[in-house]
Amino acid sequence: MDRLSVELCGIRLDNPVIPASGTFGYGYEFAAYYDINCLGTFSFKGTTREPRFGNPTPRIAEAEGGMLNSVGLQNPGVDAVIREELPKLRACFRKPVMANVSGFSVEEFAEVCEKLDAEPQVGWLEVNVSCPNVHGGGMSFGTDPKAAAQVTQAVKRVTKKPVLVKLSPNVTDIVRIAKACEDAGADGISLINTLLAMRIDLKKRKPILANVTGGFSGPAVFPVALRMVWQVSSAVRIPVVGLGGVHTAEQVIEMMLAGATAVEVGAANLVDPWVCRTIIRDLPGVMDQYGIHTLSEIIGGAK
């Protein structure tokens, strides 16, 4: 497995494959299908200070090449996550986990991160300033460099563990925002989150999603995500985690050649619960096919 190992912000991963937040629950849901310890790690469901029921239904819509979601950060709140979800996670996953955090104010981001930073199994804090499906928070922090930097600084003041800032693709200059986060102390960058999109029901002549718009994910967004990973990894000195439309071992390698240290798999988990295990099993053969000895040696190798 050493051929597959990478280091993300000082923490060794057996492989770079990470199920993305919002597509893998708290891990134990997928442990019923396979031993999830084969994963590099995973990013658990986005967590806020208070419980959130999420957006009204319908909040899922199909589209060619992917899907739209407008779940709206449904979660039980950070205290319940620590009290109820993390013990169940520990029972089935022995590695450090990535805690995904969202908020509606700078103070909320900091408070939630401080609480999760104290949890022994949390290895990284993935600060989501990019959710397009909530009002008054989420993406609004990730579309302005100053706001993204403020969140980053606030979180770094109250935490000791590596902080990765998850960025939105719904901007004109993602490099500027990534650099602002780096300058504010971020230890890494995750990108991309979903693209803002919508569908219309022809019979009802109304938007399908109750929230009108939602986040578009799936295979169709991969080239966009790859381009942004290339741009950001070329501009910052901190590690980049690439995600967006990934569903094969070949695409993991493509992301790493573009500059990603690790790669998250999102919507594909909702189509095939075993997809991450399959990707990990396929990686050595694909590496052999392209003459790759270790994955760590190819990071940014296409530049």
pLDDT tens for 51-108 read 999 899 999 999 999 999 999 889 999 999 999 999 999 999 999 999 999 998 899 9
pLDDT in tens, 149-191: 999 999 999 999 999 999 999 999 999 999 999 999 999 999 9
Q: pTM value?
A: 0.95
Which CATH class for the 6-54+73-196+216-298 domain?
A: alpha beta
Out of 38, 92, 113, 131, the active site residue is: 131
Place of tokens 């939602």: 214
Residue 51 CB contacts under 8 Å (≥ 6 apart), including other chains: 75, 76, 77, 80
The yes-or-no answer on residue 113 being catalytic is no
Alpha helices (H) in 166-209, listed in sequence order:
174-183
Q: What is the DSSP string of 45-56?
A: PPB-SS-B--SP
Question: For 265-286, what is each residue's pLDDT tens digit?
Answer: 999 999 999 999 999 999 999 9
Q: Which amino acid is at 39?
A: L
